[in-house]
Structure 1
Amino acid sequence: MQTHFSEQARTQPQIGEADRILRSCVHCGFCNATCPTYQLLGDERDGPRGRIYLIKELLESDEQDDHVTRETQLHLDRCLSCRNCETTCPSGVEYHKLLDIGRAEIDRRVGRRPSERALRLGLRATMVEPKRFQALLALGQTFRPLAPFELRDKIPARQTPKAAHRRLAGRRPDPDRHSRQMLILEGCVQPGLAPNTNDATARVLDRLGIGVRPAMEAGCCGAIDFHLNAQATGRERMRANIDAWWPMIEKEGKAGIEAIVQTASGCGAFIKEYGEMLADDPAYAVKAKRISELAKDLVEIVREENIEALGVQQRDPRRLAFHCPCTLQHAQKLGGAVEAVLARLGFDLAPVRDGHLCCGSAGTYSITQPTLARQLRDNRLDALEAGDPQTIVTANIGCQSHLASAGRTPVRHWIEIVDDALMA
């Protein structure tokens, strides 16, 4: 794609980066064929190719250009950031980076309505602080029947854990009994919505001879702030997490911390980009690069172990359908990895059509774009349920809670199913 930035403009980091990405696009339109919002809306501006043109027009225009409007902002807001288009693109266009640049610039130019600012600030204030989120979640569950319909399906009903889970709640195996050590990110909303996920992870990895421990000072990975255009705050959260993890990484000496495990693929995708996003920070560039190298999705750990020795095979008769999160398959390029692990363990997996498509969760998208998100969710559930599974499993808390909000087939994290089988 030809661009028309001045040499002076190209010296600005964000324009230089945008220019590089735009020039790699060849207008082929393959991206539209796999874009969930384009499939729903049929508008070129709601597909990657159209959004690329909108961002190009925005960045090449001057401050007073009449073409830069809230309509441009609307089409950029409707993007899920699922990165399906990047998997499809034959030219390797790094669309998600261009989108971040465009969204920041359009917000700077046209601003936000008060209601939008309030919603985004509220999401950032509540979702990134686990204790605050859990308190508000408990309040919401109490008054759930009185909540408006749009909000009600986002508040999960209180779950009654199995007896085995109640007995083990909050208890994890002692990591010090293993020479192999890994850190685990607790997350921000996951401890409230699915507290058993990381507990189950600790138990399964313990059986594989791996000790996992949290760094309690580590908090939200930064993705929520960053993708709501509070990019500076998102980077501050990255630095805070690096500060929390670094002493533990150094303390382990030559053997070292093997990995920083994420059980939410959205967090994993973001942490793997710390090194790139902080590459220009002289105080954190080296550490951030090391953190990104250590960041591993849970399936990357489990698939390398002798999982057949766990003896899970044939213990669980349930048929499963796996929903592969976009952050796992398109961002981390781990499509098929969880399915392969579950197959090795003997689970019965239902076929799933259009497995590349997004469920509509996409971080905070299901709250900021509820109508589109519900359409995408229901379409995804139709595909997942076509194989008649008893349980849907996934690898990201956002997808898990969004799919479960329909009240149809039960949805859980895949590691919980493995843990259940081990406790059977």
Structure 2
Amino acid sequence: MQTNFSAEQLTDSGVAEAEKILRKCVHCGFCTATCPTYVTLGNELDSPRGRIYLIKDMLENDRPADEKVVKHIDRCLSCLACMTTCPSGVHYMHLVDHARAHIEKTYKRPLLNRLNRAVLAFVLPYPARFRASLSFARLARPLAPLFKAIPGLKPVGAMLELAPKRIPPSSQLLGAGAHTPKGEWAGRVAILTGCAQSVLEPDTNAAAARLLNRLGIEVVVPKGEGCCGSLVHHMGREEEALDAARVNVDAWMREIDNGGLDAIIITASGCGTTIKDYGYMLREDPHYAQKAEKVSALARDVTEFLAECEMPEPEIEPGLIVAYHSACSMQHGQKIIRQPKDLLRAAGFELREPAEGHLCCGSAGTYNIMQPEIAGQLRDRKVGNIEATGADLVATGNVGCITQIGMGTKMPVIHTVKLLDWVYGGPKPRELAEG
């Protein structure tokens, strides 16, 4: 794609990086076939190619974002299926992230939209606030249809509907400090506690730590770490995202300097995509650039790490058929495709892969709150394909997908590592024990 940025514009590193990305696009349109919003809405401007044109025009003319640009960028899930499909290597993720930051700086959203986004940024990255808000949401759930009938308050209705009927007790959280391995020592890793997952799925990290301990891996929960920053990053709140990244880099560097780390284990694939990008995000910070690169290099999804471990013989025969849902942040963001499936098969599960596995389920961070209609269509399409497999349960590696898919089916939706922990000596996942 030909660009016409001035020399002065290109002195801005963000614009210079965007220009490099834009030049790689050859207008081929392969991305449209795998873009969930284009497949759902059929609008060229709701495809990666269409959004690229909008972003190019906005940045090249050095103008503030307008309502049209915001509408179509907001509809992007950042699922990154386009990056998997693109034959030219267009790094759409960095381009749309830059566009969102530009929107946040130059566009004044309607009041209710600003309030909704501010509430999400204030609540979701902070587990104590999130837990308190879920307690309120359970009481207010009957009001969801009322809120959904008011255009500016649809996200509130979506939040109320997404609130779980049961909030797992915080006692299931993996405690801070070191968790000692059993048997011969084989390594030392840190594990990301996370924000939303620590409230909605606290037993996921506990399962990961148990399994890793049985493999001889010491698991450390560093003090001071927090949200990875992805939730605010994808809302264009760039400085908040970078601050979150710095906090985590500091926490993990303390562990690296005091005992060393073989990996930073992440059990929410949405977080993994962002943490693996810390090196890029903090590239211009002289105090953090090198440290962030080191952290990104150590970041591993739990299944990515387990695939390189010597797994023991399964202790039980699960005798269950699993529909494996590959989260977008797993297959498109991190290019982790084979490892989770190989691990599940080796553990004795019969695996079935749903049709249209490349398409997003509609969760995408806060997307199912801010864009509930599109998210609902994508969820229903995803659930239909999953249920068509005839599986007994769904396995996936991202808390957002667990929540989103669980809204549309009665099938148990379980994190992959909880199933692996069970087969290799851990407790039966609560979703199966209660079923």
TM-score normalized by structure 2? 0.90
Q: Which residue of 2 aligns with 1:43?
A: 43
SS in 2 for 1:82: coil
Q: Which residue of 1 aligns with 2:152?
A: none
Worse overlay, 345-354 or 147-156: 147-156
Say which of 99, 104, 123 aligns to 1:102.
99
| Kept in 2: contact 1:175–1:181 (CA 8 A) | no
Q: Which residue of 2 aligns with 1:403?
A: 405
The answer on 1:272 being equivalent to 2:276 is yes
The answer on 1:86 being equivalent to 2:89 is no
TM-aligned CA deviation for residue 143 of structure 1? 4.2
Say which of 359, 362, 370 aligns to 1:360.
362
Query: 2:158 corresponds to which letter in structure 1?
Result: E
Query: 1:184 corresponds to which letter in structure 2?
Result: I
Identity score, percent: 42
TM-aligned CA deviation for residue 144 of structure 1? 3.2
| Kept in 2: contact 1:73–1:107 (CA 8 A) | no
SS in 1 for 2:394: strand
| Kept in 2: contact 1:190–1:397 (CA 8 A) | yes
- Mapped to 2, the partners of 1:138 and 1:190 lie a distance apart of 16
The answer on 1:154 being equivalent to 2:162 is yes
SS in 2 for 1:392: strand
TM-aligned CA deviation for residue 105 of structure 1? 2.1
Say which of 162, 180, 187 aligns to 2:194.
187
Q: Which residue of 2 aligns with 1:311?
A: 314
TM-aligned CA deviation for residue 332 of structure 1? 0.5
- Mapped to 2, the partners of 1:78 and 1:361 lie a distance apart of 12
- Mapped to 2, the partners of 1:141 and 1:32 lie a distance apart of 39
Say which of 345, 348, 366 aligns to 1:346.
348
The answer on 1:221 being equivalent to 2:228 is yes
Sort the Cα spacing of 1:386 and 1:73 in 2 relative to 1 into closer, same or farther, 3 A.
same
- Mapped to 1, the partners of 2:137 and 2:392 lie a distance apart of 28
TM-aligned CA deviation for residue 169 of structure 1? 6.9
User: Aligned residue pairs: how many?
Assistant: 412
User: Within 5 Å, which residues of 2 pair with 1:14-413?
Assistant: 14-63=14-63, 69-148=66-145, 150-158=158-166, 174-175=179-180, 178=185, 180-252=187-259, 256-307=260-311, 309-312=312-315, 315-413=317-415
| Kept in 2: contact 1:323–1:393 (CA 8 A) | yes
TM-aligned CA deviation for residue 62 of structure 1? 4.5
TM-aligned CA deviation for residue 155 of structure 1? 0.8
Query: 2:334 corresponds to which letter in structure 1?
Result: Q
Sort the Cα spacing of 1:400 and 1:344 in 2 relative to 1 into closer, same or farther, 3 A.
same
- Mapped to 2, the partners of 1:62 and 1:192 lie a distance apart of 42
- Mapped to 1, the partners of 2:250 and 2:173 lie a distance apart of 29
Q: Which residue of 2 aligns with 1:8?
A: 8
- Mapped to 2, the partners of 1:333 and 1:354 lie a distance apart of 17
Sort the Cα spacing of 1:399 and 1:259 in 2 relative to 1 into closer, same or farther, 3 A.
same
TM-aligned CA deviation for residue 142 of structure 1? 4.1
TM-aligned CA deviation for residue 407 of structure 1? 4.2
SS in 2 for 1:153: helix
| Kept in 2: contact 1:316–1:347 (CA 8 A) | yes
| Kept in 1: contact 2:168–2:201 (CA 8 A) | no
SS in 2 for 1:7: coil
Q: Which runs of 5+ in 1 are unaligned?
A: none
TM-aligned CA deviation for residue 235 of structure 1? 0.2
TM-aligned CA deviation for residue 141 of structure 1? 2.6
- Mapped to 2, the partners of 1:230 and 1:170 lie a distance apart of 29
SS in 2 for 1:399: helix
- Mapped to 2, the partners of 1:170 and 1:61 lie a distance apart of 50
- Mapped to 2, the partners of 1:170 and 1:230 lie a distance apart of 29
Sort the Cα spacing of 1:321 and 1:214 in 2 relative to 1 into closer, same or farther, 3 A.
same
Query: 2:165 corresponds to which letter in structure 1?
Result: A
| Kept in 2: contact 1:86–1:330 (CA 8 A) | yes
SS in 2 for 1:220: coil
TM-aligned CA deviation for residue 417 of structure 1? 1.4
- Mapped to 1, the partners of 2:35 and 2:173 lie a distance apart of 40
TM-aligned CA deviation for residue 159 of structure 1? 6.2
SS in 1 for 2:190: strand
TM-aligned CA deviation for residue 133 of structure 1? 0.8
| Kept in 2: contact 1:32–1:38 (CA 8 A) | yes
| Kept in 1: contact 2:192–2:266 (CA 8 A) | yes
| Kept in 1: contact 2:326–2:357 (CA 8 A) | yes
| Kept in 1: contact 2:77–2:362 (CA 8 A) | yes
- Mapped to 2, the partners of 1:97 and 1:389 lie a distance apart of 37
- Mapped to 2, the partners of 1:160 and 1:37 lie a distance apart of 33
SS in 2 for 1:360: coil
